[in-house]
Structure 1
Amino acid sequence: MTQTYQVAAIIDLFLDDLWSVQGLSDNTLSAYKTDLRQFDQYIQQQDVDIINANAEQIRCYLSERVEQGMAKTSYARMLSSLRRFYGYLLISHRINIDPTALIDSPKMSRHLPNSLSEADIERLLAAPNYDDPVEQRDKAMLELLYATGLRVSELVGLTMEQMSLRQGLVRIVGKGGKERLVPLGEVAISEVEQYLRQARPMLLGNKMSDVVFPSKRGQMMTRQTFWYRIKHYALLANIKGELSPHTLRHAFATHLLNHGADLRVVQLLLGHSDLSTTQIYTHVAKARLQELHQQHHPRG
């Protein structure tokens, strides 16, 4: 059996490889590390370590976790962690056979993302009060979020050099370090310009910052803080539907498709590396087509 400190070192090398080559987030790397350590602790009880585990031992472990109530999503992530790890071991010639190669992934039901109607969005965007610098900032952030479909983490981390209001573009470095250019739209440009002239200097005071939307302390806002602000305005706007940090991102994609946008264009704007991730929104386009058919076809 490989010594414990060697196993820990190999896991760390694997995580370093994921970070440097694939640019995975700290949260994802932490989840992978937890998954691998938990399996290693389990398998060591059988006088084997994670590096020398076989397919049957992995299946038994996953089955036990399912019996203990592990959700399908957690199962899928655990299996993904193990697959990536053993793939790394295979490429680095530490093992000769990938024990996860013949283990089936769970069949996942794809839940449709929560979205908002266009009327809901209008009420949400009208909720902030222009007389308050913080709320004027929030108004610009909401308009920009809805106009671009950015992730909340991308929005709060946005810097001045990433944005060109003259060209009407924002340059985003998304997951995996992939860069994309996203158009802003006239309304968002107008709101951001007004915010930069009026509210941002008041929020910064004498502080210097390259962050487009600083907090009242002049620092980069956290995702949690902005999510709290969204929920505040949703309450003011009397929006009853369930919200998530991605709600405006989903609304962006849904409303684009409703108005005839091509799915691949939406994929590029959202920064999805795989079209299958974007295809969850095709239910919207299908529903829109059915509606148009019923309205305009003589036999509809």
Structure 2
Amino acid sequence: MFPSMMQPLLERYLSYLRFELNLSPNSCSAYLDDARKLVRYLSDEGLSLEGLTYEQMQGFVAGLYDIGIQPRSVARIISGAKSFCRFLQLEGYMEADPSELLETPRIGRHLPDVLTTEEVDRMLEACLERGGAEMLRNRAILEVLFSCGLRVSELCGLKMGDLFLDEAYLRVYGKGRKHRLVPMSPSAIEEVRRYLLSPRPQPQRGQEEYVFLSRRGRAISRIMVFVLVRELAGLAGLGQRKISPHTLRHSFATVLLEGGAGLQAIQLMLGHEDISTTEIYTHIDRSSLREEIERYHPRNRKTHV
């Protein structure tokens, strides 16, 4: 365990994440956990924050590999440790940031799985097969994820005051509590209206404004949405693939790109700060173009004698 004397400093760091950087609760929790990892390492090695060096930070990273943490997770922990070190420098605990030159592991670009419109329709039909009191809610969730490209946390945090169904858009609070306006398709509006007009669970105190509720009347959780999407994918015959709520977001972006939408428009609708994050969808589109060329170009057709 890290020394109890470090707890007040970590609490101040949490306040910094919440109020200075305006990060979401999930991001705050992840960054705080990374800071705790660094503090535990320093305690185990008998090192101090004030005298922390670049070489010691390298030792911290090497220890992550030693216990079998995968490169993608190492990269995330390094990002959290860097944030903590910047905070310590701002607070005057360090004269220089020892993590400034720390390199993150190279991670190969992973092309996310995507669904076709027909496969999404099969998942919507699976809601009917699954049935239950939540059927209309589940259809509305799938349609909003696919038609609006929301992150699962954005969907769970959606409130009644964020819906502008007559104007055909919704307001989303994304990372850093930055909001954006996302157009809604007619099918998404229809599914949401049907859900809101249906009998819903009695909201618990403080949960009245949330759009998507659990059986217990609380805002639906991220885990519940993950489980729901996986179950519906299985009923739709897609269970052999790793389908998640984020798959629907990727599918939203890919369908837009294939339909001719520009990267900047997709960037705005997804809420990406950096266009390079959005550019991954050009790789997906190129791979589908390659398949089309190999299938239809006369030079790629096999001739039979």
Q: What TM-score, normalized to structure 2? A: 0.86
Counterpart of 2:127 in 1: which secondary structure?
coil
Query: 1:89 aligns to what?
Result: 88
**In 1, Cα distance between the equivalents of 2:292 and 2:189?**
32
Question: Aligned in 2, Cα 1:221/1:45: closer, same or farther, shift over 3 Å?
Answer: closer
| C-alpha distance after superposition, 1:58-101 (max 9, x if no partner) | 11221132123221122212221221122222233332121112
Question: How far is the alpha carbon of 1:147 from its aligned partner?
Answer: 0.7
Where does 1:172-191 land on structure 2 (aligned, <5 Å)? 172-191=172-191
**In 2, Cα distance between the equivalents of 1:61 and 1:155?**
36
Query: 1:154 aligns to what?
Result: 154
Query: 2:78 aligns to what?
Result: 79
Question: Aligned in 2, Cα 1:67/1:206: closer, same or farther, shift over 3 Å?
Answer: closer
Gaps of 5+ in 1: none
Query: 1:30 aligns to what?
Result: 29
Query: 2:69 aligns to what?
Result: 70
**In 2, Cα distance between the equivalents of 1:65 and 1:162?**
42
Query: 1:143 aligns to what?
Result: 143
Query: 2:43 aligns to what?
Result: 44
Contact kept, 8 Å, 1:203 with 1:215, in 2: the verdict is: no
Amino acid corresponding to residue 102 of structure 1 in structure 2: L
**In 2, Cα distance between the equivalents of 1:143 and 1:288?**
24
Counterpart of 1:158 in 2: which secondary structure?
coil
**In 2, Cα distance between the equivalents of 1:206 and 1:72?**
42
Amino acid corresponding to residue 50 of structure 2 in structure 1: I
Comparing 202-211 with 9-18, greater Cα deviation is found at 202-211
Question: Aligned in 2, Cα 1:294/1:64: closer, same or farther, shift over 3 Å?
Answer: closer
Amino acid corresponding to residue 189 of structure 1 in structure 2: I
**In 2, Cα distance between the equivalents of 1:143 and 1:195?**
11
**In 2, Cα distance between the equivalents of 1:65 and 1:105?**
12
Query: Sequence identity of aligned pairs in percent?
Result: 36
Q: What TM-score, normalized to structure 1? A: 0.87
Question: Aligned in 2, Cα 1:48/1:226: closer, same or farther, shift over 3 Å?
Answer: closer
Query: 1:59 aligns to what?
Result: 58
Question: How far is the alpha carbon of 1:149 from its aligned partner?
Answer: 0.7
**In 2, Cα distance between the equivalents of 1:182 and 1:274?**
18
Contact kept, 8 Å, 1:168 with 1:185, in 2: the verdict is: yes
Question: Aligned in 2, Cα 1:191/1:40: closer, same or farther, shift over 3 Å?
Answer: closer
Query: 1:269 aligns to what?
Result: 269
Query: 2:104 aligns to what?
Result: 105
Counterpart of 1:50 in 2: which secondary structure?
coil
| C-alpha distance after superposition, 1:205-231 (max 9, x if no partner) | 698932222223333222222222222
Question: How far is the alpha carbon of 1:178 from its aligned partner?
Answer: 0.4
| C-alpha distance after superposition, 1:124-179 (max 9, x if no partner) | 12222297541122112211221101112222222111101100010011110100
Equivalenced residues, count: 295
Gaps of 5+ in 2: 301-305
Question: Aligned in 2, Cα 1:247/1:46: closer, same or farther, shift over 3 Å?
Answer: closer
Contact kept, 8 Å, 2:203 with 2:217, in 1: the verdict is: no
Contact kept, 8 Å, 1:66 with 1:75, in 2: the verdict is: yes
Contact kept, 8 Å, 1:258 with 1:284, in 2: the verdict is: no
Counterpart of 2:119 in 1: which secondary structure?
helix
Query: 1:122 aligns to what?
Result: 121
Where does 1:122-271 land on structure 2 (aligned, <5 Å)? 122-129=121-128, 132-197=132-197, 199=198, 202-204=199-201, 209-239=208-238, 240-271=240-271
Q: Does 1:278 align with 2:275?
A: no
